[in-house]
Amino acid sequence: MGKLTLFDKIWDSHVVKSIEGGPDVLYIDQQYIHEVTSPQAFNGLRARGIPVFRPGKTLATADHNIPTTDQDKPIRDQLSRNQVAALAENCKAFGIEYFGLNHQKNGIVHVIGPELGYTRPGMTIVCGDSHTSTHGAFGAIAFGIGTSEVEMVLATQCILQPKPKKMRITVNGSLRKGVTAKDVIMYIISQISTSGATGYFVEYAGPVISSLSMEGRMTICNMSIEMGARGGLIAPDEVTFRYFKELPSVPEGFDWNSMILNWKELKSDPDAGFDRELTFNGDLIKPMITFGTNPGMGIAIDDSIPVPEDVAGDDNASFRKALDYMGFVPGMKLIGHPVDYIFLGSCTNGRIEDLRAFARLVRGRKKSPNVTALIVPGSKAVERQAIEEGIDKILSNAGFELRQPGCSSCLAMNDDKIPAGKYAVSTSNRNFEGRQGPGARTLLASPLTAAAAAITGKITDPREFID
């Protein structure tokens, strides 16, 4: 007794069978699907002539490949239109609940899952999207899978999966003014690199994590994959329980009073065995920004870009290639560098709290004329709430426009592309070459840092705007 991690407890209770020397057959409580990574899985079911085993345990949304304007009109791009239509047809044919474009519950898969109460503590959750780790904020095992695995879950509600190792990351202290959850996770990734947690499932703990809202915790868990982790999770607590009590809509048969009793058991034992433990001091974290082409290449916003000789873990060729792509040189400071675009949104920072933070900073100010802004709510519910709270008015008074929900410029499958060579301060999760459009130069940062850049037209320390 008393040596298990939260991860062990959830994982072990979902193992249907262990294969000798091989993976576990893991039962999945909830699957989410979207238009991009599911069509080939449905084709597979058709080729085998088999049904979806438990259609009630999969939920579908269209988010990756949709426009963020004129959503009431047909999608212009034919391939995108076909892909979204294929999802609708597949859901109908196989009996899966689908929140398509214009549905009042539509939105980014990792935003709607939690806000509609489908994601709950203690669950196993998968989706054909690496940012499925987001749902770990609720004390669930949630991770991204490939399309072959989507087909496995559709066919049998199970997946074959080797059990990852376990890491705990504790963030002590407290956060300084202008430092957000996004900065915390970007700081951790900058410290351990983009592959520092590969092979591990991470539990986040400590006073800084406990102090975060559910939105902030989702931002942290969301980017677990950016340090290579299979996923990240946070033990549920009073903040988690309050989130469920305040949910405006919940799935049928949802009885949180009885659930909450079980959820209170969901924590790592005091002397639980982790394969690796890391501790960081939250007091030292400043607003962060990336300068390169992977999320591990991040610095405090007032720091200088490192010189290659000082960079451990990255070889010089890759480091120099990244700086060439970005148009930066070693040792330079980013503060004051011109910015062409800002993007607020995505499953990392497209929730109401992110829009509120952005609006608070730009309120009573004006967007820089040099900046094109893409402000994209994570879901229809976030969009509605932003309008109810008057955030849309604050934004339009400052020269911004609220678009319609979707993944948008995070991966730029739709028209929301950053042009080649342009600099975008983006609240999304990846700064890979061409991620936001061929040749686009992405600087990852928090909603506050994006707001500061939108106002000044330059990379700006958001603390200048915060009393």
Partner 1 sequence: MPKEKLNILESRCVPLPLENVDTDQIIPARFLSATSREGFGENLFRDWRYDKTGNLKPDFILNNPAYSGKILVAGKNFGSGSSREHAVWAVYDYGFRAVVSSFFADIFRNNALNNGLLPVIVPEKFLQDLLSMVQKNPETIVRIDVQNQTITVPASGQSHFFEINPYKKECLIKGLDDIDYLLGLKDLIASFESEKNR
Residue 344 binding partner 1, by CB under 8 A: no
- Nearer to partner 1 by Cβ, of 128 and 462: the residue is 128
Q: Does 310 bind partner 1 (CB under 8 A)?
A: no
| Stretch of 72-80, 96-104, 205-213, 358-366 lying at the interface with partner 1 (CB under 8 A) | 72-80
Structure tokens given for 259 = 């659930």
152 part of the interface to partner 1, by CB under 8 A: yes
Query: Interface residues for partner 1 in 77-116 (CB under 8 A)?
Result: 77, 79-80, 82-83, 86
Applying CB under 8 A, among 67, 107, 128, 306 the residue interacting with partner 1 is: 128
In 244-330, beta strands by DSSP E: 276-281, 288-290, 298-300
Q: Which of 94, 241, 274, 432 binds partner 1 (CB under 8 A)?
A: 432
Least distance to partner 1, CB of residue 12, Å: 12
Q: Which of 59, 66, 111, 145 binds partner 1 (CB under 8 A)?
A: 145
Q: What number of CA atoms fall less than 13 Å from residue 157's CA on the CB side? A: 16
Q: Nearest 10 degrees: CA dihedral of 104, 106, 107, 111? A: 80
Q: Which C-beta is closer to partner 1: that of 132 or that of 349?
A: 132
Number of residues that bind partner 1 (CB under 8 A): 73
Q: Which stretch binds partner 1 (CB under 8 A): 75-83, 95-103, 235-243, 244-252?
A: 75-83
Considering only residues 155 to 184 of the shown chain, the ones binding partner 1 according to CB under 8 A are 155-158, 160-162, 164
Measured from the CB atom, is 158 or 188 closer to partner 1? 158
Distance CA 220, CA 442 (A): 19
Buried-state track 262-299, b at ≥16 Cβ within 10 A, e below 16: ebeebbbeeebebeeebebebeebbbbbbbbbbbbbbb
Residues in CB range of 111: below 8 A, 6 or more apart: 347, 350, 351, 378, 379, 382, 405
39 vs 306, beta carbon nearer partner 1: 39
Cα separation, 104 vs 93, whole angstroms: 22
Per CB under 8 A, the segment of 32-40, 108-116, 270-278, 333-341 that binds partner 1 is 32-40
* Comparison of 145 and 371: residue with beta carbon closer to partner 1: 145
Q: How far is the CB of 4 from partner 1 (least distance, A)?
A: 18
Choose which of 115, 129, 183, 354 interacts with partner 1 (CB under 8 A): 129
One of 55, 419, 433, 457 touching partner 1 (CB under 8 A): 433
Q: Pick from 317, 364, 369, 467: which binds partner 1 (CB under 8 A)?
A: 317
Q: What is the DSSP letter of 338?
A: B
CA distance 339 to 370: 8
Token digits of residue 303? 């720091």
Interaction of residue 315 with partner 1, rule CB under 8 A: yes
Q: Of 203-242, which residues contact partner 1 (CB under 8 A)?
A: 225, 228, 230
Give residues 273-302 in contact with partner 1 (rule: CB under 8 A).
Answer: 294
Nearest Cα to Cα of residue 31 among 169, 104, 135, 102: 135
Sign of CA dihedral 250, 31, 356, 391: negative
| CA distance to 96, 337, 424, 426, 467, per residue, from 376 (Å) | 27, 24, 15, 11, 27
Can residue 430 be called a binding residue for partner 1 (CB under 8 A)?
Answer: yes
Nearest to 365 by CA among 336, 335, 329, 395: 395
Beta strands 15-18 and 24-27, pairing class = antiparallel
Give the N- to C-terminal CA distance of the chain in Å, as an integer.
49
Based on CB atoms, which residue is closest to partner 1, 54 or 333? 54
**Contacting partner 1 (CB under 8 A), which of 1, 2, 21, 255?**
21
Nearer to partner 1, 144 or 216 (CB): 144
Q: What dihedral angle (degrees, nearest 10) is formed by the CA atoms of 454, 460, 465, 467? A: 150
Query: For residues 54 and 155, what is the distance between their CA atoms, to the nearest angstrom?
Result: 8
Residue 266, C-beta contacts closer than 8 angstroms, at least 6 positions apart: 6, 9, 10, 121, 122, 139, 235, 236
SS3 assignment, position 309 = helix
Look at the alpha carbons of 409, 413, 415, 421 in this order and tell me if their dihedral is positive or negative: positive
Nearer to partner 1, 315 or 401 (CB): 315
x-marked contacts with partner 1 along 51-70 as a string, rule CB under 8 A: --x----------xx-----
Q: Provide, rounded to whole angstroms, the least separation between the CB of residue 91 and partner 1.
A: 14
Q: Which stretch binds partner 1 (CB under 8 A): 179-187, 245-253, 281-289, 411-419?
A: 411-419
**Based on CB atoms, which residue is closest to partner 1, 314 or 461?**
314
